[in-house]
Structure 1
Amino acid sequence: MDSDSSGSDDHTVGFDAGRRVSKIAFITLFALGVAEVAIGLISNSVVLIADGIDSFGDSAIILIVLLGLFFATKQNNNSKGSNGSGNDANQPWLGYYKIESFAAFVAAIGMVGMGIVIIVRAVEALINPIEIVHPEIALITLAFAAGISGYRAVQMNRIAGRYKLLSLKAGARNAIKDSMASVIGFFSILVAVYLGFPQADPIGAIIIAAFIFSISYYILKDSSLVLLDIISNPQMVEQVKTLIERSHGVKVSSISLRPMGPFLYADINVVLDGSMTVAEFKRLANSIKKSVRKRFPSIQRLTVIIEQS
């Protein structure tokens, strides 16, 4: 058997970067939530209150993400002293991607609950419309919130894409949704106040809730696949098998793929005759790993196992 894995240093750097941007995002979102809810209550704007609740929920979600990244980084650092032999049992950091994925899963559930609260409040306002006061202050607040959330989304998405962090990707998606929600809130108040259609305010709040539910669905789906060890592309097994057999002229009896955080890990069983030397097998195994990684960069760890023909 020949196995390897990438080192944990790159993953530690990614977790650390994710923690830094998450800390800033948490503080910013919580402050925005306080301001939006307070001004929403003063101005009687349901959509501004909804956007404030959205910001509070987002800050809680970021806190969950931050905790997941904290524990992943801690355990990753603790495992650096272990003398890895290529075996998952000797690479504890591999399992801590599960913590990061679980953080994304819990975050999405929080988003669903937040959306339900917003819809209930919006329906009440549709039935009994309330006049918005001090609309200029409400509009300035929403414009500021949209700009801050948009900038935060760019930061988080860049780091999530670079280090393939699922929970931070969830946070980035949430930031995009948050910015769009603030923009919708801005125009909802414009229509409600200056075009004389007060129902636009709660309607905007309902649209914000719809955004929340749609983003939650995708996050729940992605994180659930990781937690259940299910790959999102089941055809990949056959694709890897075909690549190895055509490129290296060996028979592949079985391939096991499993997700671990944003990456995949593969156990590849190849059928060889007994005449191959150890040195020849190592060269073949290295060649297989190189070609598989080139075609499928998401596969970070490969184990090639011999079966006698």
Structure 2
Amino acid sequence: MGVDADRRYLLGALGLIVTFMAGEVVVGLVANSLALISDAGHMLTDASAIVLALIAMRMAARPPRGAYTFGWKRAEILSAQINGVTLLVLVAYFTYEGVHRLIEPADVAGPLVLVTALIGIAVNAAATWLLAKANRASLNIEGAYQHILNDMYAFIATAVAGLVVWVTGFRQADAIAALVVAALMAKAGFGLLRDSGRILLQAAPADLDPDEIGALLARQPAVLEVHDLHVWAVTSGYPTLSAHVIVEPGSDCHQVRTALAGLLDERFHIDHTTLQVDHGPGDAAATHAEPQRHCSDPHGPRHRRTSV
């Protein structure tokens, strides 16, 4: 499945969300329902996530040139950060309004809230189905998918609130539903900021352990030591590794590098690697001497072969 197909799925979901969101704001104002308006705010962030994802996909397709040696692949990470911050700003507003309405409940048109929320569940289900067909390895697409899925749960809460207000007259149910929506938005916002922040700070991807990787490389034939090991992600789904590898005197550096690169691809699915391979000292005692002769300032842990 290519980028063009992903773009069509995103545009389809965007059309559904924007159309319903505009109607929901109007109905929310007429029904005086904070739950509906907060749902619309959540849908606004869903739409923003999709728009930013579309822009980021277009930017990421630009080839590397000049100072941008990786191209614009991190554009999607910046858009994820913007989307996460926007979610948390809305969380603060809806939490404040929700607490205020718990204390001073407003009159809410329960039947109107219920009907609108039921339509919202159907719209979100359709949008979720469209995004589920796209490539969710992208942090933007996965983030938009999770937002819309959470929004569907929020509409369920709103529908329950509308039913409760209609049947029992318990007006605070609307504010409680709005606080539930705010909690879902907070979860999604923090998740986006956490995952995109790891990439911006060049942390190793959550599913990769640099110590495990270094220890495995050090156990390979002819390898004496691995240091300056860096594992990071250029963007979501793009793990990258670089390392300085010391090998036995007389061994074939090119052969070792090829074998290690193949191992990293097969075992950890890291296919973008930069390995500097050098020969170690000529005698076994010097092999384990401190400091390592080939690097005056080795970064991070030094993974050594336990026996020679």
User: Which of 243, 250, 259 is equivalent to 2:223?
Assistant: 250
Deviations 1:211-261 (A, max 9, x none): 101111111010011112112449722211222232434123312212111
Q: Which residue of 2 aligns with 1:99?
A: 75
Q: Is the 8 A contact 2:198 2:205 kept in 1?
A: yes
* Counterpart in the other structure of 2:10: 22
Distance 1:108 1:239 in 2: 31
Deviation at 1:37, TM superposition (A): 1.2
Structure 1 residue 170: deviation in Å? Answer: 1.1
Q: Does 1:108 align with 2:84?
A: yes
Say whether the 8 Å CA contact 2:12–2:130 is kept in structure 1: no
Moved over 4 A (4+): 232-235
Distance of 1:225 and 1:190 partners within structure 2: 42
1:308 aligned residue: 279
Q: Give, in angstroms, the shift of residue 90 of structure 1.
A: 9.7
Distance in 1 (CA, whole Å) between partners of 2:68 and 2:30 is: 55
Tell whether 2:93 aligns with 1:117. yes
Question: Partners in 2 of 1:248 and 1:260 — Cα distance?
Answer: 30
What does the per-residue CA deviation read over 1:81-128, in whole Å, with 9 as the maximum and x for residues that have no partner?
x8xxxxxx8984x34221111111111111111222222332333233
Whether 1:211 and 2:184 are equivalent positions in the alignment is yes
For the pair 1:231 / 2:204, whether they are aligned, the reply is: yes
Counting helix residues as a fraction of each chain, which structure ranks higher?
1
When residues 221 and 194 of structure 1 are mapped into structure 2, their CA distance, relative to the original with a 3 A threshold, is same
SS in 1 for 2:17: helix
Deviations 1:183-232, CA, capped at 9 Å, x for gaps = 11011111121123110011100110111011111110100111121124
- 8 Å contact kept, 1:95–1:260: no
Name the residue aligned to 1:296. Answer: 268
Distance 1:241 1:275, change over 3 A: same
Q: Give the length in aligned residue pairs.
A: 278
Partner of 1:85: none
Which residue among 125, 131, 134 is the counterpart of 1:159? Answer: 134
For the pair 1:267 / 2:242, whether they are aligned, the reply is: yes
Aligned residue for 1:4? none
Look at both structures and tell me which one has the larger radius of gyration over its CA atoms.
2
- Over the aligned positions, Cα root-mean-square deviation in angstroms equals 2.4
| Equivalence map 1:127-142=2 (5 Å) | 127-133=103-109, 135-142=110-117
Q: Which runs of 5+ in 1 are unaligned?
A: 1-9, 83-88
CA contact (8 A) 2:113 2:158 kept: no
Q: Deviations over 1:253-298 (max 9, x none)?
A: 312212111222111322124523xxx443332222222222212x
TM-score (normalizing by structure 2):
0.81
Task: Give the alignment's TM-score, normalised by structure 1.
Answer: 0.81
- Give the letter for the 1:129 counterpart: P
Within the alignment, does 1:59 sit opposite 2:47 as a pair?
A: yes
Q: Between the two structures, name the one with larger relative contact order (CA 8 Å, sep ≥ 6).
A: 1
Q: Please give the secondary structure, in 1, of the residue aligned with 2:203.
A: coil
- Stretches of structure 2 that go unaligned for 5 or more consecutive residues are 281-308
1:63 CA drift (Å): 1.8
The whole-number CA distance in structure 1 between the counterparts of 2:74 and 2:180 is: 33
Tell me the equivalent position of 2:36.
48
CA distance in 2, matches of 1:306, 1:291: 15
Report the AA paired with residue 209 of structure 1: A
Structure 2 Cα separation of the partners of residues 207 and 90 of structure 1: 45
C-alpha distance in 2, partners of 1:195/1:213?
29
